[in-house]
Structure 1
């Protein structure tokens, strides 16, 4: 019913762009701002799911409250990236925010979610992404060549990603079906445990050496992802699970939205030993914009772009210039107010240039490093 009402009352603007190619209509998601940003993580599908599902997809074109939509992408030079399918738990966001503003904290994790309950939500969020493609807002990419074509043509590039494998059954049948639908990246866990492994809690100060590693199901999941060339995201894995993947996987190790533990001693951030393993695998880390993972004190309060640069410098020092990118966590985190949304990405580019990053390094950090690791993981 809600979908019908929204459909009937669509604006003239939506009527002009429905199902059309934004580039042909003169809408360029990279705009005049270069290099366009390929981003390691966003949660806009969850936000649209909560706002009404398929009916809310149209607000992505006309404008919505949040970090990413087509107008903001155009303004900020957001070229696309990893669009996460995430299964939400019932949590008190106000209480969580209040606790993470304290000098130290350890938030309890939500209970696990059975795959039978998770799968319908995952399919709905994936359907929202494909609806955005039908509306002409983006292209769901299944290869690095698709990504490059989108960047060249000014169309937003989207990778179907799963943050937490709750919707994958023990026999991995859902994984095979979702791969054929377009799934190309998967994190075995969010912070809450799954049948495949264990994540890290929102804990400060702490490292990720918390709990056991991959289960037998998790080892089979890694093997099947390698066979299908689905990228495995380590951002929420605990330390034992991280090292299990490092031993079992034949693909580059990738953390799509994580920061340096040496700069911010949060459980979600990566130690120098973990960064060394990612470097040795020729993998990749995307800088997370979430203020609690940026600030040295781990608190969820605003911070300046200087903290982002501290993490970037450390990651570049440990990983090299070809293995670091951006992983904003837009629509899933509190980000620095100087950025605010995808429209604020020029402020980050300006800060990076003022910090001394030349144009060659800028292009690597903004897009080329992601393209490189995707080509290596997926094939050409």
Structure 2
């Protein structure tokens, strides 16, 4: 590994859910001191240059058994709120016990300071707004607690929208768009300066948000549909809209969203990840692509293994032809820029 790895600010991880469900005692200690399982803890983040990222709170369905259409069921609303609060407390407990090694960031300047001082810059993110009822009361309370980015849906329907199911091969054009409650949610996020995350949104919902939102269009962990014909990936037209609003696409490390054969094979080359980065950079510009690993939430290339393997990706990007200035943009500058503009929009 490199002695001084490039700082990476990452658009998506599910470490809070892994810690919450992992069993054993003291999940805070497991994160701070490190463990063998999963992709992220503080020692491995430091080893790989993972300087921070959007720490997702995602509530699985009561049963993760797919229905006859291959889709996931919707979680119960009370369970979703309780689980969201429990994972938010876990994030704040990690910050409190880390002795400054972890900072929950609420502004772009918080992120910059954390990177400069070597404190892991965590942003409170919700993936799938099942915890937020249509009255949006919980949204306002969660925002006061530090919520700064939100994906209205995971890949299942809820009161706000129809999440795009996991299908291959498939267009993302599956199902209806936003509900009336969903349109209210987008307006409220704009007013509160909460970044709206379009990953897991189907195409109809994407275009409704594009018309309604005043902020840059951001997909935190979604890849290129032209390279991998998966419903979760972004079409060229969607990528162009992201560019036109000054938005961003964070490349997902999940092999399902990288490969052109739809196979969940961990023996997938990091070069495929580079291919998706390069495609977006060439089509819509280097300022509109970053990383959204989905660490602790998906199967990543085995050669990377975990967050400590991030320098392998940086070197693969360098070998492809990205220079130091471009690597900084991909690594952290683009994320900080789009968050700053979203929080000020």
Which TM class, normalised by the smaller chain length?
over 0.9
TM-score normalized by the length of structure 2: 0.95
Report what 1:60 is aligned to: 31
Gaps of 5+ in 2: none
* CA 199–240 in structure 1, closer or farther in 2 if over 3 Å, else same: same
Aligned counterpart in structure 2 of residue 75 of structure 1, from 47, 54, 65: 47
TM-score normalized by the length of structure 1: 0.86
Report what 2:163 is aligned to: 199
How many residue pairs match? The answer is 339
Report what 2:228 is aligned to: 264
Measure how far apart 1:90 and its partner are: 4.3
Aligned counterpart in structure 1 of residue 110 of structure 2, from 146, 151, 157: 146
Equivalences for residues 325-364 of structure 1 within 5 A: 325-364=290-329
State the structure with more CA Rg: 1
In the alignment, does 2:78 pair up with 1:116?
yes
Report what 1:27 is aligned to: none
In the alignment, does 2:223 pair up with 1:223?
no
What per-residue deviation string (whole Å, max 9, x for no partner) do you get for residues 124-177 of structure 1? 000100011011141000000000000110110000000000000110000000
CA contact (8 A) 1:54 1:128 kept: no
Q: Over the residues paired in the alignment, what is the CA RMSD in angstroms?
A: 1.7
Report what 1:16 is aligned to: none
Aligned counterpart in structure 2 of residue 125 of structure 1, from 57, 68, 87: 87
Equivalences for residues 1-380 of structure 1 within 5 A: 32-52=3-23, 55-64=26-35, 65-91=37-63, 108-136=70-98, 137-302=101-266, 303-379=268-344
Measure how far apart 1:379 and its partner are: 2.6
State the distance in 1 between where 2:219 and 2:52 align: 17
Measure how far apart 1:35 and its partner are: 2.0
State the distance in 2 between where 1:33 and 1:261 align: 34
CA contact (8 A) 1:279 1:318 kept: no
What per-residue deviation string (whole Å, max 9, x for no partner) do you get for residues 5-59 of structure 1? xxxxxxxxxxxxxxxxxxxxxxxxxx94332000000000000111249821210
> Any idea what SS the aligned residue of 1:183 has?
coil
State the distance in 1 between where 2:142 and 2:54 align: 15
Deviates more, 1:177-186 or 1:52-61: 52-61
Gaps of 5+ in 1: 1-30, 97-105
